[in-house]
Structure 1
Amino acid sequence: MSANSRLTIAAHALVWITLYQREGHEVATSDKIATSANTNPVVIRRLLGELRKAGFVESRRGVGAGWSMTRELKSITLLDVYEVVEPGPLFAMHRATPDQNCVVGYGIQPAMRGIYQDIEETLRCELARVTLEDVLREVLAAPR
């Protein structure tokens, strides 16, 4: 099972666009963002499309096409981004109902559901504490 990188890539894109704009550029292309993230521009466009619907970015078509921020990084938490790009639960139950005649099959989902709810609440609280401005500050402070 592999880890999901959607939150990381979305945060990367938003921080990158902001830094690029702070350097005096009006818009950022998905190709440039994708180069920084070392991923396909289609991945960036899809994520930014979701973030556009949520009001974090806007896009321009035609000559001078690209993406720009509509909100300041200090007003966006990692939880805000997480809720856009990861709308489902963090953990899932079995795809098919376990054997209800088995003691473990009968009790596993209720047991795990409570544990997962606690974990997700902790995750949400931690993500809410960190703004994308905090992330940018950490990025710029990282040793090279």
Structure 2
Amino acid sequence: MNSQFAVAVHVLSLVSQFPQHSSSADLAASVGTNPVVIRNICGQLRRAGLLQTQQGVSGAHLTRLPADITLLDVYRAVNGAASVFRIHEHPHPNCPVGAHIQATLDVRFVQAQAALEAELAQTTLADVMGDLAARAG
């Protein structure tokens, strides 16, 4: 898994708390990345229906309350249907391990992906923001 998921949660948390300071430059400064990266992630969040922006107008707004956005929503926005777990594509079919590794790992990977998604579905953006507030003291 790349860092897009974490960046997306960061962006949504910032937008929720500070919509007036949610230009791609402001968000990029907080995340510590390039504004182009932020614009790409914001595009994914917008297409997923989690974020609203207007072309030519600085700023963004959540389309739902933070309590109504789960981490699974965010995960799917930036990862689509792709699994975190990937199997190498061309194991040698005549190798005793290579011939069976994909089928063997597929079962485990499907179970692990389901567990990950179940956990993400139980946590909302509001939960994350509450944790952030507690840490900020």
Q: Where on the TM-score scale, by shorter chain, does this alignment land: which range?
A: over 0.9
The DSSP-based 3-state class of the residue aligned with 1:68 is strand
Give every structure 1 segment of 4 or more consecutive aligned residues whose post-TM-superposition deviation is greater than 3 Å: none
> Which of the numbers 22, 31, 34 marks the counterpart of 2:28?
34
> Which of the numbers 114, 127, 132 marks the counterpart of 2:125?
132
Shift of 1:61: 2.8
- Alignment-derived partner of residue 17 in structure 2: 19
Structure 2 Cα separation of the partners of residues 39 and 91 of structure 1: 26
- Alignment-derived partner of residue 65 in structure 2: 72
- Alignment-derived partner of residue 82 in structure 1: 75
- Alignment-derived partner of residue 106 in structure 1: 99
Q: Which amino acid aligns with 2:34?
A: N
1:110-141 per-position Cα deviation (integer Å, ceiling 9, x unaligned): 11000101110110010000000000000111
- Alignment-derived partner of residue 93 in structure 1: 87
TM-score when normalising by structure 1:
0.88
Structure 2 Cα separation of the partners of residues 69 and 82 of structure 1: 16
> Which of the numbers 2, 5, 20 marks the counterpart of 2:3?
5
The DSSP-based 3-state class of the residue aligned with 2:38 is helix
Equivalent residues, number: 136
The DSSP-based 3-state class of the residue aligned with 1:58 is strand
Shift of 1:6: 0.8
Q: Which moved more, 1:67-76 or 1:8-17?
A: 67-76
Q: Which amino acid aligns with 1:12?
A: H
Stretches of structure 2 lacking an aligned partner (at least 5 in a row): none
Q: Is the 8 A contact 1:17 1:68 kept in 2?
A: yes
The DSSP-based 3-state class of the residue aligned with 1:82 is helix
Stretches of structure 1 lacking an aligned partner (at least 5 in a row): none
TM-score when normalising by structure 2:
0.92
The DSSP-based 3-state class of the residue aligned with 1:103 is coil
